[in-house]
Amino acid sequence: MDLHGKVAVVTGSGRGLGLGYARALAAAGASVVVNDLDPGAVDAAVEAIAKDGGAATGVAAEVGGTETAELLVETAVRAYTRIDVLITNAGILRDRVLWKMTDDDFDAVVRVHLRGTFTCARAAAVRMREQGDGGRLILVGSPAGQRGNFGQTNYAAAKAGIAAMARTWAMELARSRITVNAVVPVAATEMTRTIPAFAPLIEEAERTGQPLPARLRRDAGLGTVEDVTGLITFLASDAAADITGQAIGVGGDRLALWSHPAEKTVAFADGGWTAEAIAAAWPSGVGAEPETYGIPAV
């Protein structure tokens, strides 16, 4: 994939998956704006990209509010004259079960993930529409947002909202030739340590120095950061110009298209449904095969 001439902003790219995305885009030829709350992480990321022969500049700021979103876009335009790609990767965790989660726990995660995706996408969309030649919004989701995850009310809700925003913005921005997709990455990072099914497997691989077993790479789609970056580069490229409104999973040896929420089973009753009629029909009708939830154990 050749991204020369394109300019990308990657939020939360001082470390982890975000850094992997930024380095992969730069390696493909894009100029990159790196963002992180930690100025040291920003400087290190810019230096690493430059050492590899790429072009990058950095913005140390907290994602969430409009001021940071507009600063990121302004920095891209000032440094490289335009913006073509936005990856909304910034995120934090405040994991607690429902009865122990505080207002601050909930609001902090929603502000960075959900509001931060909204404000950054809005700022990027305004500029891309002004430029008049399309663009790419790549929103980072999570398996937790697709299926739920124990102890992650705030995170799962925000990530589910991000997938919904991708579908909505794909419609709103279609005439401007701006594609909008959600990616659902799975990789061995600090974030995936919060998933009970994955944490011990990641720790064991790190302790022994052995790669993750093929079973995990294929069945669970769990691999390295590098296993995920190819999807980001592809979606940023001209080859993905016709792909929009999708939620695409990637990790390990696995690439997947997530389904949209849809009615699974429908039943009808002339004149409508009473509570008693629902109770009688549920076990053998609409409720005969209830949906599963939660990230499956591996």
Spatial separation of the C-alpha atoms in residues 281 and 234, rounded to whole Å: 47
Contact 45, 58 (CB under 8 A): yes
Report CA-CA distances (Å) from 93 to 71, 153, 245. Answer: 24, 11, 26
Taken in order 106, 109, 110, 111, the sign of the CA dihedral is positive
* DSSP for residue 153: H
Q: Among candidates 199, 191, 122, which has minimal Cα distance to 152?
A: 191
Spatial separation of the C-alpha atoms in residues 173 and 169, rounded to whole Å: 6
Contact 87, 11 (CB under 8 A): yes
Scored b (16 or more CB within 10 A) or e, 254-282 reads: beeebeeeeeeeeeeeeeeeeeeeeeeee
Contact 138, 88 (CB under 8 A): yes
Q: What is the CA radius of gyration of the chain?
A: 20
Active site residue 155: yes
Residue positions annotated with a catalytic role: 155
